[in-house]
Amino acid sequence: MSSQNPSRPSPMQTVETKPFWEASARGELLYGSCSACGEKHYYPRARCPYCLSDQVTWLAASGRGTIYSYSAVPRGNPPYVSAYVMLEEGVAVFTNIVECDPGDLSIGLAVELVFEKSRDGQPVAVFRPAS
């Protein structure tokens, strides 16, 4: 797990997202899978964004993926990289890429899941270049 990032806002937790954040605390990244339409989705929600069914189950991601798209802000305070990572499971995750030189990143680069603690200590899923 990465060190605490005091500039990372604490995520807003709701009854709907509680299982997601509990899994993050255990070092797992969950995504939703709809039993009604078969679509997978990410960010935690109780209803499928494709068909609005409430037949959503949580599945654990492998933690491996590739960079689909990214934007580096090297002069940010602190510098950061925002990215879409395509998980092996076929789900796109909007996240940050950490522990890297932004100049070394590229579309298709393999990345792996790590967690970074927010201001209040809640682990948040981020990715780093795969070792």
Q: Domain ranges for the chain, please list them.
A: 18-129
pLDDT, average across residues 60-75: 94
**pLDDT of 13:** 87
Return the CATH fold of 18-129: OB fold (Dihydrolipoamide Acetyltransferase, E2P) (2.40.50)
Rounded Cα distance, 32 and 54, in Å: 11
Give the pLDDT band of residue 3 (cuts 50, 70, 90): low
Burial (CB count within 10 angstroms: exposed 0-12, middle 13-18, buried 19+), residue 24: buried
Does 73 score more than 70 pLDDT?
yes
Q: Which of 103, 112, 65, 114 is nearest to 87 (CA)?
A: 65
Whole-structure pTM value: 0.91
**pLDDT of 93:** 97
